[in-house]
Structure 1
Amino acid sequence: MATLQIDADNFQPTITNNATVIVDFWAPWCAPCRGFAPTFEAAAEKNPGIVFAKVNTEEQQEIATAFNIRSIPTLMIFRDQIVIYSEAGALVPAAFDQLIEQAMALDMDQVRLEIAGQQASS
């Protein structure tokens, strides 16, 4: 599956209508971003049940600002519309594959319980 280019019009529907979305925040001038792109594309091909999306931070500054993106590349993983991972830096293929496995193995019911517990105590 090819990666999806995300903009202000399709960002929210993409997150809302898909169980798992991995977003790569990048910019054309960013050498590490360009270096990570083949790894991201290869992972998209290997994981057809996951939506892989790219946000060009130069063109989509509102989205980058909304998620407080301060350095790129930044990867963000959404499961059931919850951000379960957000980290700056490019990953090597094996590390990215492992991250995807860990993200998919999460018990989202447990995650929701933990979030509810944190919200109740604050």
Structure 2
Amino acid sequence: MTTKNITGADFAETIENNDIVLVDFWASWCGPCRQFAPTYEAASEKHPDVVFAKVDTEAEQLLAAQANITSIPTLMAFREKVLVFSQPGALPPAALEQVITAVKDLDMEDVHQKVAEAQAKGPQN
């Protein structure tokens, strides 16, 4: 599977309708983003069961703001609609592979339970 450009219009739908979604927030003027792009594309070919999405932060400034993107590139990983990883910076191939493996290996029953417990407690001051 190749990478897929997404916008604010289809971001939620992409997260909602896929088990695992990686999102690369990037911009064309960003050197580290351009360096990370081939690594991200290569990983998308190795993992057809994962959606590899890209968000152009210049074209999608509102979406980038809603996602609290303060540095690019930023990689986010969603599993079963839950944000399970978010980190700025370009990852080398081995580190990206570790993230993908870790996301696939998550015990989502445990994750959903922790999310429910956190929601039950309400916002922390």
Q: Same fold (TM over 0.5)?
A: yes
Match of 1:42 in 2: 42
Match of 1:5 in 2: 5
Q: Which runs of 4+ in 1 moved over 4 A?
A: none
TM-score in terms of structure 1 length: 0.97
The CA deviation string for residues 78-117 of structure 1, in whole angstroms up to 9 with x for no partner, is 1111100011011000010011000100011100111112
Match of 1:112 in 2: 112
Aligned residues: CA RMSD: 0.8
Give the 3-state SS of the residue equivalent to 2:24 in structure 1: strand
Match of 1:100 in 2: 100
Cα separation, 1, equivalents of 2:84 and 2:106: 9
* Percent identical: 52
Cα separation, 1, equivalents of 2:40 and 2:27: 14
Q: Which runs of 5+ in 2 are unaligned?
A: none
Match of 1:78 in 2: 78
Give the 3-state SS of the residue equivalent to 1:10 in structure 2: helix
Give the 3-state SS of the residue equivalent to 1:71 in structure 2: coil
The CA deviation string for residues 32-83 of structure 1, in whole angstroms up to 9 with x for no partner, is 0000000000000000000000000000011101010000000000111110
Q: Which amino acid aligns with 1:11?
A: F
Give the 3-state SS of the residue equivalent to 1:83 in structure 2: strand
Deviation at 1:119, TM superposition (A): 2.3
Q: Which amino acid aligns with 1:40?
A: Y
TM-score in terms of structure 2 length: 0.95
Q: Which runs of 5+ in 1 are unaligned?
A: none
Q: Which amino acid aligns with 2:13?
A: P
Cα separation, 1, equivalents of 2:83 and 2:121: 20
Deviation at 1:120, TM superposition (A): 2.4
